[in-house]
Amino acid sequence: MTPMGQHFLLSSAAKSLNLAPVMRMTDAEAEAMFKRVRWPETNGEPYCPKCGCTTCYDCRRANGSPRWECKACRAGFSITGGTLFSSAKLPLRSYLAAIAVATNEVKGKSALALSRDLGVSYKCAFVLLHKIREAMGSEMKGRIIGGEGKVAETDGAYFGGYVKPANFRENRRDRRLRHNQSGKRQCVVIVRERGGNTLPATFKSEAQALAFIRSRVAKGTTLNADEAARLRTH
């Protein structure tokens, strides 16, 4: 809960991942954090991605990136192998900083601005942002909202497709009519479980989102919407 009248982004709960502490990390601290994120099941202890063996030997080269060899299958793997940062050459601190920047920006982050923040080329920042967005999008696949006794809300808003009116009144058209619209307008629908996950999706209209909502909201969920009778799922 935040104090009355305080925006969530100004609260301490919204500052769990900050850029400044990441940039102050040493190489060892950045490696330890990356390992905890990469292998949360073992609290940062590496295990073989091929056979799952937890006995791995450190075989990094001098001044090289962290690398291990599995005792069971002798497979070698790096700290970024099998992740979205695989085969990249940046320091681990830069990857953590890119994640912090991309997830903290409320209205998104441009590749040009990220390239200036990290001191990398535009092409590198562009690829980094797309990899992070791809990873965030893959988490939404198959996500189910709610459950027995849980409460969720859903709503939609239209964005894009703006048609600029003519300067002179006699040349203006009724932009509410379909043939005077650009066809680029999209409806962004959000389904959010109270105290739980959020599921966004984009459609041409709110009516097209009904089947999606029915398939992604679990049975027994109390779903609140502007038009509850139409959006009742079960």
Give the pLDDT score at 196. Answer: 83
Say what the pLDDT of residue 106 is.
76
Other CB atoms within a 10 A radius of the CB of residue 191 amount to 27
Query: Residue 9: CB partners within 8 Å, gap ≥ 6?
Result: 106
Q: What is the pLDDT of residue 225?
A: 86
Q: Which of 207, 217, 209 is nearest to 151 (CA)?
A: 217
Q: What is the pLDDT of residue 10?
A: 59
Q: What's the pLDDT at 191?
A: 92
Same domain, residue pair 181 and 131: no
Whether residues 49 and 108 fall in one domain: yes
The per-residue pLDDT for 11 is: 58
The reply to whether 125 and 162 lie within a common domain is no
What is the pLDDT at residue 151? 92
Q: Which of 137, 128, 139 lies closest to 202, judged by CA?
A: 137
Q: Which domain holds residue 219?
A: 151-231
| pLDDT on residue 233 | 47
How many C-beta neighbours within 10 Å does residue 18 have? 11
Picking from 138, 162, 190, the residue at the C-terminal end of a domain is 138
- Average pLDDT by consecutive 10-residue portion of the chain (234 residues)? 49 67 88 88 89 89 82 89 81 88 83 92 92 83 88 90 86 84 87 88 88 91 73 48
Q: How many separate domains does the chain show?
A: 2
| Alpha carbon distance 199, 225 (integer Å) | 15
- Residues 161, 89: one domain? no
Q: Which residues contact 50 (CB under 8 A, 6 or more apart)?
A: 70, 73, 75, 77
pLDDT given at position 120: 92
Instruction: Please name the amino acid found at residue 195.
Output: G
Extended beta strands in the chain, E state: 56-58, 67-70, 76-78, 151-159, 186-193, 198-203, 222-224
- Residue finishing a domain among 87, 108, 138: 138
Q: Are 198 and 192 in contact (CB under 8 A)?
A: yes
pLDDT at 12: 61
pLDDT at 228: 45
Residues 20, 120 within the same domain: yes
